[in-house]
Structure 1
Amino acid sequence: MPAGYSEGHYEGQRYGITLSASADGRRRWLYGEELGGTGRVSANLYRLADGRVALRPCEMPEAWVMGFVIGFVPDGTGR
């Protein structure tokens, strides 16, 4: 996923998403909304001190967020 704001599609629906990162790179956050609909995605990803990562979805199942990240196709990528 590209950093900043982008648009694309997931499971046939258009989404606008924003992917941001903290200055130290240890936290990334994703927020997206279905354009013209009610769908949304929101999560934080933390890089822990021991090198592992922790995904923390915001009020939605982790599996849904993971599916979105894997399945989202940004405009112009040709996927």
Structure 2
Amino acid sequence: MHHDDLDALVDRVPLGWSRHDVDGRAWGLTRVDHAEGRSSTIEGEELGGTGRMSANVWRTASGTHLKPCEMPAEQVLAVLRALPTTD
């Protein structure tokens, strides 16, 4: 995935906790930025369901890198892609 696309997906998640509809299901997502925005932690859970996602995002000189926590990257990206764009 091109790092600009990943940046745009991460930017769809507001800082702090927020509620979102993901494919018709309610999710609670939390985003925390670290090191003046050079890294972010995103965690999510399906409210009233079993869905979970967790990842760290690192913004380095070589680009933006997704590091999912104990799950496939596609599982994290599927949730991020389902969020509305912020523009």
Q: TM-score, normalised by structure 2?
A: 0.75
Q: 1:55 maps to which residue? A: 66
Question: Match for 1:10 among 18, 22, 32?
Answer: 22
User: What does residue range 1-79 of structure 1 map to in structure 2 within 5 Å?
Assistant: 1-48=13-60, 50-73=61-84
Q: Percentage identity across aligned positions? A: 41
- Cα-Cα RMSD: 1.8
Count, aligned residues: 74
SS of equivalent residue, structure 2 residue 21: strand
List structure 1 runs of 4+ shifted beyond 4 angstroms: none
Gaps of 5+ in 1: none
Structure with the higher helix share, 1 or 2: 2
Instruction: Find the aligned partners of 2:76 and 2:24 in 1 and give their Cα distance.
Output: 16
One-letter amino acid of the structure 2 residue matched with residue 63 of structure 1: E
User: Highest CA radius of gyration, 1 or 2?
Assistant: 1
Cα offset, 1:54, TM superposition: 0.9
Q: TM-score, normalised by structure 1?
A: 0.82
